[in-house]
């Protein structure tokens, strides 16, 4: 199969922290040599695309903000379309707050009768935040999560992600989110394919997580390749409902796949 575009997960696939994963730069060079259009697609809502551009450059990767889609991107695209200017209460770090404001949403407190509640990763999440989310949701506000990742890889090891906090809020609210954005959501699929301008069968998704990256590609009809440089290992691969088309030790092995 000849692909025309590639969707690359970031953390665990291309970088860990601010350092390129061994072989990743070679893999990116092979993608460039093959003439593929590319997008870096991350489920991290804490940084907007321009901040990701700077982060990737620190790791030795030249990328522009137009090549980067985050779960903050998909969240704000959806909210701007479906809840323009809505009173919004957000559990999350400053990066997602800034992105919501830039999308025209009005950030309010739990006591200001929010119409929308957005929950994402917040490394200072505490009991008061959980209480505030409960108050914000008890009168029927729409409940959205930025992304489903329960565990995320960092330079210092794996840590709880947005999904863990979303589950905590869902537990106290007694209801599931109305929608969770980021991969593998259909909102993310639409944003990514619109940005690439390609049919799904011409696109290869490469990522380290089966239930988000690979599920994202499978559901959209894209090709899929999992790398074993993040959260997926052989044991995980032997017991999954999301079987990728290809298994790579790392992104550096993509040259072999593209030349087949």
pLDDT (tens digit, 9 = 90+) per residue, 133-154?
999 999 999 999 999 999 887 7
Strands of the 179-180 sheet, one edge to the other: 106-107, 87-91, 116-119, 142-145, 179-180
Q: Domain extents for the chain? A: 5-43+183-259, 82-180
Q: Can you tell me whether residue 247 is helix, strand or coil?
A: strand
Rounded-to-10 torsion of CA 229, 158, 134, 126? -160
* Burial class for 135, CB neighbours closer than 10 Å (0-12, 13-18, 19+): middle
Give CA–CA dist 10/68, Å, rounded. 10
Residue 203 tokens read as: 């696109």
pLDDT at 155 over 80: no
Domain covering 5-43+183-259 in this structure, CATH number: 3.40.50.1000
Distance CA 27, CA 49 (A): 22
Asked if the domains at 5-43+183-259 and 82-180 fall in one CATH topology, the answer is yes
DSSP state of 108: -
For residue 1, the model assigns a pLDDT of: 63
Average pLDDT of the chain is 95
How many other CB atoms sit within 10 Å of the CB of residue 102? Answer: 12
- Average pLDDT on 67-75 reads 97
251-to-10, 30, 31, 142, 246 alpha-carbon distances in Å: 11, 10, 10, 39, 12
CATH superfamily of 82-180: HAD superfamily/HAD-like (3.40.50.1000)
pLDDT at residue 2, rounded to an integer: 87
């Amino acid at each position: 199969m000849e692909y025309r575009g590639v969707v690359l997960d970031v953390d665990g696939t291309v970088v860990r922290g601010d350092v390129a994963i061994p072989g990743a730069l070679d893999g990116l060079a092979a993608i460039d040599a093959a003439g593929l259009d590319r997008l870096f697609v991350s489920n991290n809502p804490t940084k907007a695309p321009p901040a990701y551009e700077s982060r990737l450059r620190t790791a030795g990767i030249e990328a522009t903000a137009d090549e980067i889609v985050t779960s903050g991107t998909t969240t704000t695209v959806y909210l701007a379309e479906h809840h323009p200017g809505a009173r919004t209460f957000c559990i999350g770090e400053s990066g997602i707050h800034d992105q919501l404001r830039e999308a025209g949403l009005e950030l309010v407190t739990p006591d200001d009768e929010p119409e929308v509640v957005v929950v994402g990763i917040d490394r200072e999440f505490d009991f008061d935040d959980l209480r505030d989310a409960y108050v914000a949701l008890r009168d029927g506000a729409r409940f959205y999560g930025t992304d489903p990742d329960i565990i995320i890889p960092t330079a210092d090891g794996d840590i709880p992600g947005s999904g863990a906090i979303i589950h905590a809020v869902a537990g106290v609210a007694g209801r599931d989110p109305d929608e969770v954005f980021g991969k593998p959501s259909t909102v993310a699929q639409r944003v990514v394919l619109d940005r690439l301008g390609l049919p799904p069968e011409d696109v290869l998704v490469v990522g380290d997580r089966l239930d988000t990256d690979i599920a994202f590609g499978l559901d959209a009809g894209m090709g899929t390749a999992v790398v074993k440089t993040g959260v997926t290992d052989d044991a995980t691969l032997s017991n999954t409902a999301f079987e990728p088309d290809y298994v790579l030790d790392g992104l550096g092995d993509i040259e072999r796949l593209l030349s087949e």
